[in-house]
Structure 1
Amino acid sequence: MNLFQLRAFDAVAREGSFTRAAARLFISQPAVTGHIKALEEHYQITLLRRTARRVELTEEGTRLAAITRAMFGLAEEAQAMLEANRQLLTGRLEVAADGPHRVMPMLAQLRARYPGITVNLRLGNAQETLAALLSEHADVAVLTEVEPRKGLHLQSLGESRMCALLPVGHPWVDGQGELPLAKLDRQIMVLREPSSITRRTFDQACAEAKVQPRVLLELDSREAVTEAVAAELGIGIVSSVEVAHDPRVVARPIAGNGLINRHMIGCLQRRRELRLIQAFLSLAEQH
C-alpha cells in the first residue's frame, strides 16, 4: 500500500478539490492527480467523481475517507506530541465560525503571536460550523448556543444580546435605554431565515412573551438584513456583536427574557492537547 497515494486521496477528500489538496500537501496538482489515478488503477476501484465544478466521493471513496481521516489524524497527533517542546513557528490551523465578528479579532491576535501559522477560515451558519468541527474538517470552531456533548471541549467566549435594528429616521431611534420587547408586537420586521441562531433566539423570546411581530421578509445574511432596514422595509434583529457601523441604521438593545446568546470556542476533546489548537484556545481566555 502506497501511503503517498493515500495521503493525496485524503487531502482531496478533505478539501473537495485537487487544487486545494495540492496546496495542502505542498505538491503540484498533477502529482495529486497521478497519485489518485495510480491508487484507483491498482485496486480497480473508483473513489472520486470529477465534475466541472467539484469533486465528489463515491460510496467506496466515502468509506475510505473515514479510514484515512482517522489514520492521518492520528499521525498528526503523534507528530504534535513529538514536537510539543518546539516553538510554534509554522503550521496550519483549520478554523470554522458561524460569523466573522468574534473570530476575526482572535485571528489577528493569533497572527501577531505566531506569524508563521497559516489559517484557513470557513464561515457558515451554526449547523455548518458544528458539522465541520465534528467531521474534523475544522480543528477549532467559534460557535453560538451549542449544547455540550461527549467528546466535545467547549470554552466560553462571553454573551451577546439581541438588538432591534432601525432605520436612522425611525421614531424609536432617539429613545433612551433598552427597547421593551413588547413594543415589537405587530411591528413589520425583516429577519434572518428560521434556522439562524439569531432568529431562533428571537422567535423563542417572542413566543414566551406572547409578542407577535409581522415578519414580511426573510433574508439569508446579516448584510441583507442591514440593507433591508436601511431601505425602510421593516425592523431587523441583530446580535450586539454583529452591529454594523453603518450610518443608515441604529441598533437598540431589547429588554426581555431569553434574548441572550452564549458564544463558545470548541474543539474535539481528544485533540485538545495539540499545540496549534492550544494556541487558539488560549485566546478565549482574553475575551
Structure 2
Amino acid sequence: MGITYPQMKALNAVARRRNITHAAQDLGISQPAVTAQIRKLENDYNKQVIERGPNGVQLTPFGLQLYRVTQELDDMEAAANALLENTPGLGQVPLKLATSSSQVFMPVIAAFTKKFPEVRLEIEHADTDIVFKSLLEQRADIGLMPERPEDNRLEVMRFCQNPLAAVLSKAHPLATFDRISIQDLRNETFISGEPNSVTQVMTEKLLKQAKLKKKTSLLLYSREAIHEAVANNIGITISFQRDVPPDPRFRVLPISDITVDVWECLIWRKQRSDIPVIQEFIKIADSFRYRQNAE
C-alpha cells in the first residue's frame, strides 16, 4: 500500500485552495471525488490530513508535513508539461505573482504585460509573511518581496536595494532639508503600521540603536492610510524609500547616519525554474536590474 497519484493531487489542490469545491474545479473532477481521495488517504494510514476551520479547510500539522513532500509533484508536472508542449509564445497561461512591494516591481509587471498581453496575470498584494507563505504553498509562482533567510527549495534574484527614509508632510519644519539625521527625529510623533511588518521591525531596531523613544500617535494597517495621515501632518513615518508613491503633499528624506536597507528580490521555487512564463518574467526583471545598476 502506498499513497496514490490521485491522492497526492487532491491533497495538493486542497492545500493550495483551502476549499474542496475550488480544489475540485482546479482538478476538473467533482467535489465528492476530491473528498473521497482525501478520506481514503486518511483511512489507509489512520492519519488526519485536513480539518475544517473558521477560514475554510486547512491542513493538520501532519498534513502540512506531508504536503511539503507532495507539492514537489506539481512543480515537476508543470515543468514537464512546459517542455513537452514546447509551443511558440507563452499561450493562455496564467502567471501568479504575490508581492509586498508593488511600488518597486510595477515597472517590471507593466513591461511584461506589454510584451506578453496573452498572459493573464494574477497578483496578490499582502504583507511579506503572507507573500512568502503563498510562494511556499504554490498559490504564487513568483514572490516579489524583501529578501528572506536562505531556503534550499528556492531561487532568489536580488533586484534592488531599498533604504529606509523619513516621510513627512510638506508643512513639516524638516521638509526644507535635503536629508536629516536620526537624531533630528527625537521629538517627533510617529505614525506606525502593522507591528510585525518588515518596515516596522526595522524601524524599531533603528530607533533602539539610536536610543530614541518612539512616540506613536496613530497605528494604521495600510500604507495608503499611513501616507494620508502623513500628508495631513498628523505625524511622520519611516518607510522604505522605494515603497513611497510620488505625492506633492509630502517629502521623502534620506537619513544620513544610518545604513539600514533591504534587498527587494524575486523568489521562486527551484523546481519551477524551467517553466517558460516564469523564465520570461525573470528575464524582464533582470533587464531592469541591469539598467538600475548601470545608473
Shift in alpha-carbon separation, 1:56–1:168, aligned structure 2, 3 A: same
- In the superposition, the TM-score normalised over structure 2's length comes to 0.80
Q: Give the Cα–Cα distance (whole angstroms) in 1 for the partners of residues 21 and 38 of structure 2.
A: 19
Q: Give the Cα–Cα distance (whole angstroms) in 1 for the partners of residues 130 and 20 of structure 2.
A: 22
Q: Is the 8 A contact 2:166 2:236 kept in 1?
A: yes
Offset, 1:205: 2.9
Corresponding position of 2:30: 32
Question: Identity rate of aligned residues, in percent?
Answer: 25
Q: Is the 8 A contact 1:156 1:284 kept in 2?
A: no
1:108 to 85, 107, 110: 110
| Count of matched residue positions in the alignment of Structure 1 and Structure 2 | 282
Equivalent residue runs for 1:31-110 within 5 Å:
31-40=29-38, 45=43, 48-49=50-51, 54-58=56-60, 62=64, 65-66=67-68, 68-84=70-86, 86-110=88-112
Q: Is the 8 A contact 1:13 1:57 kept in 2?
A: yes
Offset, 1:216: 3.8
Q: Give the Cα–Cα distance (whole angstroms) in 1 for the partners of residues 229 and 18 of structure 2.
A: 35
Q: Give the Cα–Cα distance (whole angstroms) in 1 for the partners of residues 83 and 36 of structure 2.
A: 32
Offset, 1:93: 2.1
Q: Is the 8 A contact 2:194 2:221 kept in 1?
A: yes
Offset, 1:119: 2.5
1:272 and 2:273 correspond: yes
1:222 and 2:226 correspond: no
Mean Cα deviation higher: 75-84 or 153-162: 75-84
Offset, 1:158: 0.9
Corresponding position of 2:291: none
In structure 2, give the amino acid aligned to 1:107: I
1:208 and 2:206 correspond: no
- In the superposition, the TM-score normalised over structure 1's length comes to 0.82
The root-mean-square deviation of aligned C-alpha atoms, in Å, is 3.0
In structure 1, give the amino acid aligned to 2:134: A
Q: Give the Cα–Cα distance (whole angstroms) in 1 for the partners of residues 17 and 249 of structure 2.
A: 39
1:138 and 2:136 correspond: no
**What do the CA deviations read for 1:129-163 (whole angstroms, capped 9, x no partner)?**
22332343322111213233434321121122222
Equivalent residue runs for 1:231-246 within 5 Å:
231-246=232-247
Q: Give the Cα–Cα distance (whole angstroms) in 2 for the partners of residues 283 and 23 of structure 1.
A: 32
Q: Gaps (5+ residues) in structure 2?
A: 289-295
Q: Is the 8 A contact 1:21 1:32 kept in 2?
A: no
Equivalent residue runs for 1:248-267 within 5 Å:
248-267=249-268
Mean Cα deviation higher: 75-84 or 42-51: 42-51
In structure 2, give the amino acid aligned to 1:54: G
Corresponding position of 2:283: 282
Shift in alpha-carbon separation, 1:56–1:146, aligned structure 2, 3 A: closer
Q: Secondary structure at the match of 1:285?
A: helix
Corresponding position of 1:156: 158
In structure 2, give the amino acid aligned to 1:208: Q
Corresponding position of 2:292: none
Offset, 1:33: 0.8
In structure 2, give the amino acid aligned to 1:263: E
Q: Is the 8 A contact 1:77 1:271 kept in 2?
A: yes
In structure 2, give the amino acid aligned to 1:114: F
Q: Is the 8 A contact 2:190 2:215 kept in 1?
A: yes
Q: Give the Cα–Cα distance (whole angstroms) in 1 for the partners of residues 38 and 138 of structure 2.
A: 25
Shift in alpha-carbon separation, 1:42–1:8, aligned structure 2, 3 A: closer
Shift in alpha-carbon separation, 1:168–1:19, aligned structure 2, 3 A: farther
Q: Gaps (5+ residues) in structure 1?
A: none
Q: Give the Cα–Cα distance (whole angstroms) in 2 for the partners of residues 148 and 111 of structure 1.
A: 30
Q: Give the Cα–Cα distance (whole angstroms) in 1 for the partners of residues 42 and 140 of structure 2.
A: 32
Q: Give the Cα–Cα distance (whole angstroms) in 1 for the partners of residues 142 and 53 of structure 2.
A: 30
Shift in alpha-carbon separation, 1:160–1:212, aligned structure 2, 3 A: same
Offset, 1:87: 2.7
Shift in alpha-carbon separation, 1:106–1:112, aligned structure 2, 3 A: same
Q: Give the Cα–Cα distance (whole angstroms) in 1 for the partners of residues 166 and 42 of structure 2.
A: 59
